[in-house]
Structure 1
Amino acid sequence: MLQQIFSPSVQHALDLIGIFVFAISGALLAVRKNFDVFGIAVLAEVTALGGGLFRDLVIGAVPPAAFTDLGYFLTPLLAALLVFFLHPEVERIQAGVNVFDAAGLGLFCVAGTTKAYEHGLGLTASATLGLATAVGGGVLRDVIAGEVPSLLRWDRDLYAVPAMVGAGLVVLCLRYDALTTVTSALAAVTAFVLRLLAMRYHWRAPRAWNRRSAAVEEV
């Protein structure tokens, strides 16, 4: 059983780590957008909890963990506080946003997939919900910050694909009874590294064949 591999304390720790790194990315973006302290806290909370909230509502884990565990609520506030006082220099903020976002992406695609499977979803549905868990907070973050979500932009490096790979590795391990703490960590690291490589080498998904759009890449 999956529950024998992931004890409640391990699952809780994985969730909190993912929440913290996503909150860091949200708070850093708020600083770059010149938000005040309340805006920084709000963006940190939304980025950290948005994907997990969606996951819990879909699988019927209600009330969602974000509303029943004080740690889930306080962790983003701690991240917002750290960013408020210790954020990088302006020219380094974007790099910090991207790195923390990639870390959260890897952690949440694994946590979302495993929790969905624990609640009775099939392998394909679990992977899909793992993807939604990973990208949901980032989408809400970008919308609130007044940006088109990176998930939807053709001129942005691969974002959803690394999460899809991480979730796919998890369900592959589930299919062959090979999911352990080590293999789940490897899946998260794989998604994280793929996202970093995509940013480093500007890997992007192809657009429609023979498209006739006049859109140009933003600088």
Structure 2
Amino acid sequence: MNAALILDLFGVFFFAVSGSLLAARKGFDLVGSLLLASLAALGGGVARDVIIGVDPVAFTNPLYLAPPVLATLLVFFLFSRLEKVSTLLMLFDAGGLALFCIVGALKAVDEGWNPVAAVLLGVTTAVGGGLLRDVVANEVPQLFNPGDIYALPAFLGAALTVVLAKLDLFNVVTGIAVAALVFLLRVLAWRGGWHAPLATRAPCPSEPPTAG
């Protein structure tokens, strides 16, 4: 089992846990939890493989089915004893984000893509599953939350991965360092309320003005 596959499977598991935690918080049943875990865990990777033009590994490798099932069962048995579900959800989501931006960027580099395209694929891989999870659960996607930073850590991680890969410096140690940096930045942004500049400097009303 190569390093890229291991990173990918850990990312799948982290996102799957985030999906099952959100399902538990929303009161979904066990089947709904499994489906939401699978969407969160596999959505980004499927999008990545479709963009690259290969068969989605989630449908060709049975190993990718195990993490969502494991995550669903863990949350089912442990949810009543879990506290601060929102914090746990964010931490597992941050872990998946950190790993998937690396795996997506590496796959693009292996396919011979240019650096900019490789970074974009890394970001797409990282945010795709979380976006699907939140939309299906009727939540405001973290990607579009103006009071938080979500995609920027993935951009940084994907860019560093591409630079290291192009310089033949990417290995287990540097990969762990990049993942840790992305994870830390995501957590600090969440705890500190960091956010990117809004689309306009002018104040925007929360509701459209009414006539008359």
Common fold, TM-score beyond 0.5? yes
Q: Deviations over 1:74-100 (max 9, x none)?
A: 221111111111126565111110000
Alignment map for 1:1-219 (pairs within 5 Å): 9-62=2-55, 64-87=56-79, 89=81, 91-155=83-147, 157-215=148-206
Equivalent residue of 1:57, what SS?
helix
Give unmatched runs, 5+ long, in structure 1. 1-7
Deviation at 1:122, TM superposition (A): 1.3
Equivalent residue of 1:210, what SS?
coil
Q: Deviations over 1:131-189 (max 9, x none)?
A: 0000000000000000121101213x101011111111111212322212211111111
Cα distance change of structure 1 residues 197 and 159 upon mapping to structure 2, 3 Å threshold = same
The one-letter code of the counterpart of 2:126 is A
Structure 1: distance between partners of 2:53 and 2:142: 28
- Worse overlay, 205-214 or 144-153: 205-214
Structure 2: distance between partners of 1:88 and 1:113: 38
Contact conserved, 1:32 with 1:90, CA < 8 A, in 2? no
Structure 2: distance between partners of 1:89 and 1:160: 31
Structure 2: distance between partners of 1:75 and 1:153: 27
- Worse overlay, 29-38 or 79-88: 79-88
- Worse overlay, 163-172 or 176-185: 176-185
The one-letter code of the counterpart of 1:130 is G
Structure 2: distance between partners of 1:85 and 1:46: 21
TM-score with structure 2 setting the length: 0.93
Structure 2: distance between partners of 1:116 and 1:192: 21
Structure 1: distance between partners of 2:60 and 2:51: 17
TM-score with structure 1 setting the length: 0.90
CA RMSD of aligned residues (A): 1.5
Deviation at 1:214, TM superposition (A): 1.0
Equivalent residue of 1:154, what SS?
coil
Structure 2: distance between partners of 1:48 and 1:161: 20
Count of aligned residue pairs for this structure pair: 207
Contact conserved, 1:23 with 1:76, CA < 8 A, in 2? yes
- Worse overlay, 83-92 or 204-213: 83-92
Equivalent residue of 1:87, what SS?
helix
Contact conserved, 1:130 with 1:167, CA < 8 A, in 2? yes
The runs of at least 4 aligned residues of structure 1 exceeding 3 Å deviation read 88-91
